[in-house]
Chain A
Amino acid sequence: MLIPWRSAWAVAGALAVAASVLAATVDESDLDTRTREVAKTLRCTVCQTETVWESGSPFAGQVRDAIRERLQQGQTPDEIRAYFLSRYGDYILMQPPTRGVNWIVWVGPFVLLFVGGLILYRSLARWVTPSLPPPAEPLDDASRQRIERELRS
């Protein structure tokens, strides 16, 4: 049976209205969710391991402007760094400060290098030193008598 065009448009319209009503209560569409899930796995490389000086992002531009403004107001570089540190924490600094658990970052690699070197040295020393066969165990009387018997026969 063919559906009249007018009825089809009416149904489509009703569905569109229902969808818009539902859209107001549902957080996001399936496509939105999938897009977000894939996008979440991709890192923004522009914002990684760059200083605000090197970065072309708007955030970096505003930080640069703020630094300039604060310097013009007479703040010292340390005061400006302290301000950003107080707002963002250590994360804002390119070099983690040498305090607290940050010492692990500074000292850890050297400790690991030392321990690794020590283990490597001990292993190499063991490989290089010729290993002697273990001393033979003394024969017991029964074995000795058996060997002598076999030699005589």
Chain B
Amino acid sequence: MTRAWQIILVGALLGLFALFYQGLWGNPRYIPTILIGTPAPVFAAPQVGSSDSLSLDQFKGKVVLLNFWASWCLECKLEHNNLLALNERFGRDPNFVMLGVNYQDKEPDALEYLRTYGSNFQHVRDVKGAIAFDYGVYGVPETFLIDQQGVIRCKTIGPIVGAVYDNYVQRVLPALLSGSPEQVGC
């Protein structure tokens, strides 16, 4: 075998090893999203427990935390207190708003959930999953952060707990609210 062939063979094996490493030891929850940096799809939907409609357009110029949840979702319960805490902490800022999107759920169940666990922000119903499709949602909970220009800056798959919550509080939201989305780091 010539020297060139040996190099090609070693290169190919290393490439295969890298591929297997990424496939087997990478984060299995990680799903690449193509919507970061693109304009957030605008929607209008009925509110949970009310026939009044709410539109994303109403919050133009604000940082929007959009959280997809469902009453049957265990991880949503896990993050619920933290969502309330986020709104407690940043809700006083006039440039911040949180919006829940109730996904694949029955309205009475969603209302019962909100009564049981409490709520300090508004929620809309994604009746046919259309909002979820527009945002490329795979499952709940998923959270999107939209900057003041209406561009999606972050997507979090899974609950906002632990280090993810700390990052939101310490870096992501302060950066977005100070108008420096390029320093968001999420």
Contacts and interface: CB of A to CB of B under 8 A. Distances in A.
Given A27-B165, A28-B78, A59 B130 contact: no
B39 to A, nearest CB: 12
Interface residues of A, number: 27
Contacts of B35: 87
B136 A88 contact: yes
Nearest to B41: A87
A142 B31 CA distance: 78
Interface of A: 23-25, 27-28, 32, 36, 40, 43, 58-59, 62-63, 65-66, 69, 83-84, 86-89, 91, 112, 115, 119, 122
Given A25-B81, A83-B133, A89-B32, 18 more contacts: A27-B78, A36-B78, A43-B28, A59-B129, A62-B128, A62-B129, A62-B133, A65-B129, A66-B133, A84-B133, A88-B34, A88-B136, A88-B138, A89-B33, A91-B31, A91-B32, A112-B16, A119-B9
13 contacts: A24-B81, A27-B81, A32-B78, A43-B28, A59-B104, A62-B104, A62-B128, A62-B132, A66-B128, A87-B34, A87-B134, A88-B136, A88-B138
